[in-house]
């Protein structure tokens, strides 16, 4: 009999991709504050504890993958909204799980918790959450640890690209878009101005080094985590999920140009305050505990799958907004 898996935030970028990825091997159902025509998810607001309790009592999932959150790292969003959608929602979910004797949870956290020191980050690295988003994610982690549930906390690094099946394609669609990969690919294809922040870092070409992980690899990491929690009880693991590869902003731009055969219109501007030269991650714990490693996070695969997503949105005539952001 297939395990019954509940995904919260199932209409979001990662949640919807995970839904498609897992549905062949598990009995999947998703909830969110809003429904979508793409997937058969149910409407359920985690801030309504009474309705959440009723829902969990009725459905009795074997495991919950908790992705529901205010996800954009944008300080212009009201701090109260972050607290409600991240901390209070997680608190309610844990209370609902306890009330209904549900034990297993996977929580999506973030690399934004770490203090950046231009060194390879491990799970033992110093934490220093700065943004409201990161601070609320850290509070959620502490709530889950205190609950003593059987839990895995996955700290994702830069998730990117699209997820394709035979019938569907899903990808990032933020408004405005602030993430680097979709910004670079889109602006190259549309021959728009591109801004590179800083070329005076101590890297091979002077631009920042980052660590990008394909959405398919994120989904496979969650699947491995499901298997791990099913086999192991009374666990509380924190695991970084990344590609563990190093690539600069300018290298990504050159790779895009090679694939699209379009020369980018870009200019170097002053580096942003707070940016570090290098941000990469060790995935040794993920390999050891989950028997996981990335298979799709080659930069060429990431770029080609992002191009497919952009062309799909173009066919649907969906307009996109971008910040001057890298």
pLDDT value at 8 more than 80: yes
168 within some domain: no
Cα–Cα distance measured from residue 210 to residue 140, given in angstroms and rounded to the nearest whole number = 25
pLDDT at position 165 is 87
pLDDT at position 326 is 46
Q: Please state the pTM of the whole predicted model.
A: 0.94
321 within some domain: no
Cα–Cα distance measured from residue 68 to residue 8, given in angstroms and rounded to the nearest whole number = 5
Above pLDDT 70, what percent of the chain?
97
319 within some domain: no
pLDDT at position 275 is 79
pLDDT at position 255 is 98
Lowest-pLDDT range of 92-96, 140-144, 186-190, 275-279:
275-279
pLDDT at position 69 is 81
Query: How much is the average pLDDT of 73-100?
Result: 83
Residue appearing with tokens 């028997």: 291
33 within some domain: yes
pLDDT tens digit string along 34-45? 888 888 899 999
- Residue 73: pLDDT band (50, 70, 90) is low
pLDDT value at 157 more than 90: yes
11 within some domain: yes
- Please, which residues bridge with residue 163 across strands? 170
CATH code of the domain in which 227 resides: 3.40.50.720
Could you list the residue range(s) of the whole structural domain that residue 217 is in? Answer: 4-162+212-244+279-296
14 within some domain: yes
Q: How far is CA 172 from the centre of its chain?
A: 10
pLDDT at position 71 is 63
pLDDT value at 259 more than 60: yes
The interaxial angle of helices 89-99 and 132-147, nearest 10 deg, is 10
Q: Who has greater pLDDT, 134 or 19?
A: 19
188 within some domain: no
Above pLDDT 90, what percent of the chain?
79
Cβ–Cβ < 8 Å for 252, 210: no
Cα–Cα distance measured from residue 217 to residue 220, given in angstroms and rounded to the nearest whole number = 5
Q: Which residues contact 288 (CB under 8 A, 6 or more apart)?
A: none
Lowest-pLDDT range of 58-67, 85-94, 169-178, 300-309:
169-178
pLDDT tens digit string along 205-241? 999 999 999 999 999 999 999 999 999 999 999 999 9
Cα–Cα distance measured from residue 181 to residue 159, given in angstroms and rounded to the nearest whole number = 9
C-alpha distance across the termini of the chain, in Å: 46
pLDDT at position 75 is 52
Of 16, 3, 239, residue with least CA distance to 104: 3
pLDDT at position 9 is 94
Cα–Cα distance measured from residue 300 to residue 163, given in angstroms and rounded to the nearest whole number = 15
- Residue 70: pLDDT band (50, 70, 90) is confident
227 within some domain: yes
Can you give the three-state secondary structure of the chain, one letter per residue? CCCEEEEECCCCHHHHHHHHHHCCCCEEEEEECCCCCCCCCEECCCCCHHHHHHHHHHHCCCEEEECCCCCCCCCCCCHHHHHHHHHHHHHHHHHHHHHCCCCEEEEEEEHHHECCCCCCECCCCCECCCCHHHHHHHHHHHHHHHHCCEEEEEEECEEECCEECCCCEECCCCCCECCHHHHHHHHHHCCCEEEEECCCCCCCCCCCEECEEEHHHHHHHHHHHHHHHHHCCCCEEEEEECCCCCEEHHHHHHHHHHHHCCCCEEEEECCCCCCCCECCECCHHHHHHHCCCCCCCCHHHHHHHHHHHHHHHHHCCCCCCECCCC
To the nearest whole number, what is the mean pLDDT of the chain? Answer: 92
pLDDT at position 77 is 58
- Domain count within the chain: 1
Q: Cα-flanking dihedrals φ and ψ of residue 58, to 5°?
A: -75, -45
- Residue 76: pLDDT band (50, 70, 90) is very low
Contacts 24+ apart (CB under 8 A), 119-128: 119/278, 120/280, 120/281, 120/282, 121/240, 121/279, 121/280, 121/281, 121/282, 122/240, 122/281, 122/282, 122/284, 122/285, 123/155, 123/238, 123/239, 123/240, 123/285
- Residue 322: pLDDT band (50, 70, 90) is confident
pLDDT value at 21 more than 60: yes
Supply the residues annotated as catalytic. Answer: 133
Query: How much is the average pLDDT of 72-78?
Result: 56
């Amino acid at each position: 009999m297939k395990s019954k898996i509940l995904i919260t935030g199932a209409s979001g970028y990662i949640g919807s991709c995970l839904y498609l990825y897992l549905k062949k091997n598990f009995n999947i159902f998703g909830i969110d504050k809003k429904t979508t025509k793409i997937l058969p998810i149910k409407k359920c607001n985690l801030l309504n504890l009474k309705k959440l309790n009723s829902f969990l009592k009725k459905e009795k999932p074997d495991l919950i993958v908790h992705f529901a959150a205010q996800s954009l790292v944008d300080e212009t969003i009201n701090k109260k909204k972050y607290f409600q959608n991240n901390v209070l929602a997680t608190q309610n979910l844990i209370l609902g799980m306890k009330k209904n004797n549900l034990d297993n949870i996977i929580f999506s956290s973030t690399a934004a918790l770490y203090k950046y020191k231009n060194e390879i980050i491990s799970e033992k690295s110093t934490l220093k959450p700065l943004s409201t988003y990161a601070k609320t994610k850290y509070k959620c982690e502490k709530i889950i640890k205190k609950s003593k549930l059987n839990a895995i906390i996955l700290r994702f690094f830069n998730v990117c690209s699209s997820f394709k099946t035979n019938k569907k394609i899903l990808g990032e669609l933020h408004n405005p878009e602030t993430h680097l990969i979709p910004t670079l690919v889109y602006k190259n294809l549309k021959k728009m101005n591109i801004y590179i922040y800083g070329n005076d870092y101590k890297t091979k070409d002077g631009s920042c080094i980052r660590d990008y992980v394909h959405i398919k690899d994120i989904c496979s990491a969650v699947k491995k985590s499901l298997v791990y929690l099913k086999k192991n009880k009374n666990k509380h693991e924190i695991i970084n999920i990344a590609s563990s590869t190093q690539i600069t902003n300018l290298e990504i731009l050159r790779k895009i140009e090679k694939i699209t055969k379009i020369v980018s219109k870009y200019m170097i501007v002053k580096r942003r305050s707070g940016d570090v030269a290098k941000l990469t991650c060790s995935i040794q714990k993920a390999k050891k505990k989950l028997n996981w490693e990335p298979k799709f996070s080659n930069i060429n695969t990431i770029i080609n799958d992002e191009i497919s997503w952009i062309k799909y949105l173009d066919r649907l005539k969906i307009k996109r907004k971008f910040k001057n952001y890298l």
